Structure 1
Amino acid sequence: MRRGVVVTATALAAMAAGTLPGATAAGDATVTVRGFDLAGLAQTRLNVVGCASVFSRSGQPPRPAIGVVPGGPAGKRSLALTTVAGDAAGPISYASAVAAAPPAAMSVRAELPTTGVGYVGYQAPADAGTNRMWVGRTDLSVPGGAWTDVSLADAAFTWVQYDMGTRQQLAGPVAATPVAAFTASQGGDGYGFYALGFGCEGREFNTDAWHIGSTTYDFEGYAAAVAGGEDVTIAPGGSATLSAQVSSDGPAPRLVLEAKNSDGDWGAAPDQPRPGATSVQVSPDADTTYRWKIYSTPMVEAVKGQDHTEPFTVTVAAPDPTTDPTTESQAPDRQPAEQQAKQQPKQEAKAPAAPAPAAASPTEAAADPEPPAPAASEAPAPAETAPAPAGNTQPTEATPSTDPSETPAG
C-alpha cells in the first residue's frame, strides 16, 4: 500500500533545494493515528529505506496492519509492518536545524531478534540551495519477544555525501561521529531529517509510540460507532425490518443485533444481518426488546459509549377477534347447500292424489244390462306425480373453506 509512504530521494532532494517538507511544529501532544494513514500529518510519514544504504531499497511498499499486542507502550493496538528483506520501514521526520531537533524514536517488538537501521540527513550551510547532502548511517537491533524503545539520540553515524538528484556519492565515508560533532565540523547546523526503520530480515514487527519532535504518535484501530433502532408494532405473525446506522473511518466493524432475554441479559438475536448489511427482518412471537451493538476487531475499535444503541421494542399487537382467522374458518360455506335447495323440493310439498275411477256395481250390471256409461262419466286420467330428485335427498354439511391450521401467518 503506497499511501503515506515517502520516497526518500524525492523528499530529500526537495530539502536540498531549500524546500523543507513537513516542518510544521505541533507542540507537546499525543496524536492518535487511526489505522495506518499518516497522509494528513505534517511532521512525519511512514517511510522505507534500504538496510545496506539509504538508496538500496527494493521499491516495494511495506504491508501494514493494525494488531493487538499485550504490553504496548501506548494504547491497546499498534502498527504491524512487513517489509521485503533488505528494506526497513519506520518514521521519517524533518527539521530546519537537525542538530538542535530532538532525534526520532520509536517502540518496536518482534517475535524474533530483528535488525534495523537509522539515518540522519544534513545539509551544510555552504551547500544550501544545491542537491548535496550528507547522510549518516547507524545499525539498530532489538531482541525478540519484548517491546523495546529505540532512539537515535547519542548514536554515532558513518557519513557519506550524496548528490540527492542523481544519488551519486560525492564524498566520504567519514568515520562514526555523533550529529552535533559532525555538523560543527561542517560549518554549523542546517536542514536535515531523521529516519529509522526495522524489518531487514523481511519478518513482521510491531511498532508504536513514535516520538517525533515533541509529539508522540499512538497507533490505534479505526474508530466506529453505531446508531439507530426505534419502537415498532407489528400484527401477530407479522414482521419488521430493523436498521442500524454504522459510521467508521476505516473498515466496517462487526455488527450484531442483540435481544434481551427473560433474565434481563443481552444476547445475540436469532435473526442477524448478512455480513456487510445493516438491516435485518425479524418476526418475534411476543414483545421483544432489541439493541444494535458493534464489536471491536484488531483493525476497528468501537468507540466507548457509542458501541451500542439505546434499547428499542418490537411490540406484537393483540389479535383482533373480528378478523381472527380461526373464527372465520368455523363458518360453513352456504353456497353448495343453497344450490341443493333449488334442485330439491320441499319435503312438506306432496304430489296430489289421483281420484279413483267410477266403477259400476256388479249387482247393478247383472240386473240391468245397459250400454256403457257415456264418455262424460269416465274418470279423468290421474295427475302426474313429480319425480323425486336423484341421489341423496338429505342436504350435506359443506366443508369449511378455510382450515385454521393452514391459515398463512401474516
Structure 2
Amino acid sequence: MLDFHTLQVASISSRLAFLLVFFVTLLRHPREIYFGLWAGALCCSLIASFIMLGEPSSVPLEAVKGSVVYTLYGASLAVSWAGLRNFYERSTLGAPTLGLSLLAGLSYGFLLAVGGTTPWAMTVVFGSIALSTGFCLLEILRTPPSQRLWTQYVVLTGFGAYFFVFLLSIGVVHFANERMASPDSGIYSLVFDLWCGVFIQVGYLAMVGERANLKLSRLAETDPLTGLANRRGLFTAIGRRSGPGGALRCAILLADIDHFKSINDTYGHDGGDAALIGFAERLRSVMRKDDIIARWGGEEFLVVLDQADAAAATAVAERLRRTAAGQPFSVNGAALTVTASIGVSIVAAGEERIDAALSRADAALYAAKKGGRNRVCLELTPPQTDIQPPRTEPASGLRGAMEAIQVAAQPRSEMA
C-alpha cells in the first residue's frame, strides 16, 4: 500500500526538479517570460505542498490556513494560464490572473468565517480552481489548427483530467463526503496530482522544444530578406502538393528584375535590397493563396501556379508585370520605376518534377530579356511527357530553346 507521507515527499520532489529546470532555462533565455510564469506557478503549488506536509487529508482545513493553501493552489493554475498566454504570444491579463489567484482561497476563508459549511466552502474552491483550469484548456484549444503543436495535447490531457476531477469533486463533497474523508482518498488524490503534474510540466518543455524546431525548419526554408520561400522551401512545398502518383498540375513563372545590377551600382546594396523587398511584396499581392512563391536567387523569383493552364498563367504573369511597373518603388528616399521580365512554362501532364518546366521557363525568360525586357514570354511548343529532365536548377543560357518561345505580351519601354 502506498504511504501518504511518502507520496507528499515525492510530489514536492518532482515540483522542485521541474522548478529547477524552468529557472535554469529562464536564466539561459531571459526573454522567454513564460518559463518564469510557469516557474512561479510551480513555486505557488510547492509552498502549498510544504504547508500541507504531514497534514492528514481527512481533516478539513481551518479558515486561515485553508485560505492560504487554496490561494496558493488557485494562483498556481492562474499563473499557468498566464504562462500559456505568453507562450502563444497573447497579452498577459494581469487583473483576471490576480482575481483567479485569490478567488478560491478568499472565498473559502470568507464562507467559513460567516458560518458557512465546509462542503459549500469546498464547492466554491473546486469551482474556482476548475474555472482557472478551464481557461488553460481554452487557451490551448483556441490556437488555430495550422499553428497547433502535437505536444500541446500532452498538456491538454493533464489540464483536462484536472478539470474533470475538480467538477466531479463538487458532487462528491455533497453526496459522498464520507469518501473524501477516508485515508485512501488522500492517497488517490496525490497519485492523480503527480500524474497530471508530470503531464503538464513535461508537456510544457516538449511544446517549447517542438516550436523551436519548427522555427528552425521555417528559417531553413525561408529567404531572410524577402520572407518568401527559398529553394529548399519551394521544393518542400511542391512535395506536399504532388497529386496521385506524384504528378503535378501547375504552371511556372520565372521573373527577373530588369537592370538590377544598375540599381545596385546606383543606390548601393541597401537600395538593391529595398527593390527586392518591394518586388516580393507586389508579387504576394498578385498571387493566390495556393500559389507557391519563392526567391529563386539573386534578383530572380519563381512562382508555381496551382491548377493553371497557359492562358491563366500568362494572364497572371502579365498582371504581375503591370503591378511591378505601375508604381515607383521607394529606394533610399528616391522614386524608382522597377520592371521585370517573366518567362512562363506549363508542367506537362505526367511530369512528376518541375525540372524540365523550369528549363523551359528559363528559356522563355531569356527570350523576354533579349526581346527588350519588361515583357512576358510563353513557351510556344507544348511540352512532351517523354523528354528527359535536365539538371535540377534552371539553366541560364539555354539559347537553343529560343525556337520554342513566343512573346505573349507587347514590348514595353525599358526602365530608365
TM, length-normalised to structure 1: 0.19
Structure with greater strand share of residues: 1
Greater Rg, structure 1 or structure 2?
1
Q: Which has the higher helix share?
A: 2
Higher relative contact order (CA 8 A, sep 6+): 1
